[in-house]
Structure 1
Amino acid sequence: MPSAPEHTHHLRIRNTQLEMDSSAGNAPGEDVDGKLRLAQNQLEELQAQREELERIKVETEGLNTRKRELIGSQVEMSERLSSATTLIDRELFEMKQELDDLEQCRSCFAGHLAKIEKINPESWTREQLPERLDRALAIVEHAEDEYGQAADHFSKSRSATIFQGVRRAKSSKSEFRQQFARGLAFNLPIIALGGFALIAYVLK
């Protein structure tokens, strides 16, 4: 049996050398300089970031200080304005109340004044004198009483100056009224006798 033919492979080995790219391997000095530049750039970036953070910190502290001042001023002014508003409301209420009281007082005084001004003792006849005199004295006394009550009512208000001297006027009027009553009581018998004499003369 014939043997199988032997196949012989001839490997061709190329004599090639691996060449290093000039860009792949730098000189030792150039590599250190590059690293130094890189480190310097990183350091400058860190320094810039540090300065930026410091600036933000200072700005934030300033804003927080102003914020605290604002809150303090806000609280203080809120309290002052609230207190002032309450006092103003109270003052306005008292002023309106006093104004209403003054309007009522003026209306009352105007009514008394109209009645008093209509009193004309000179026009009264002898027969009218007792009745009208009592009525007129009652009118004056009523007006005097209400005047005194009004003076007491407004004595502690800003309108107290309106009624200054009311005590003195009241005392003077009381004294006048007493003297008038005394004079009338003293002269009444004389007036009565004169009236009787006049009637007797007319009847003759």
Structure 2
Amino acid sequence: VRVEALTEGVEAPPNLSDCRFEVRQRYQYSARRAYARELAKHGHGSEAEDGGAGGLPSWEGAGGQEDDDHRGGDHQVVRRKPSGLAARRPNAQAVKRLQALQDATKKERKVNDEEFLRLIGEPILYGQVLQLKHVTSGRYLSIRKTAADVERGALKTTLQDGGTAGSWFRIVSGYRTKIDGDRVLFGDLVALESVSFGGMGLHVSV
């Protein structure tokens, strides 16, 4: 939901379904980060860990570049051209390593999804690290290493394909009246603190 729609006397978003987020457990991204770093060595994509790009190139087959786009359990492969003049074809040994890292990334995704299914129905506890998946887009709320558009002293928050370490938030009591391990109850005032960015609190500026 773009906040511009609320600046002209409008008291509610035009479509409330766009405001729904699904609570997910903390996903693991170590294999994904290793894959991104290896791709960056060969001029493909960026090794930035704040999740600049959504899908990562695939090196299956003859080493052609594809986007492996994984959103909310859906999987699709889209053919793309190498990004930028710096992109170059890796040698056979590098392709083998890239394929192994890509396989590890897919296994990591599968483990994350299986863990989510296992935890469905479990209570959320204060102090837990979680992620918020935007129901409509299938993307994850994530903090980036760039300045926010409105409040320049804060970091930018976006929706990212697949999520990143910037998608990790710790849930705490808004009034500090609850302790870690207490259940989060309906109607509780909560705050979300970034794990990867020094406990910065999630907030909105208009």
TM-score, structure 1 normalization: 0.26
TM-score, structure 2 normalization: 0.26
Q: Which has more radius of gyration?
A: 1
Q: Structure with the greater relative contact order (CA < 8 A, sep ≥ 6): 1 or 2? A: 2
Q: Which has the higher strand share?
A: 2
Q: Which has the higher helix share?
A: 1
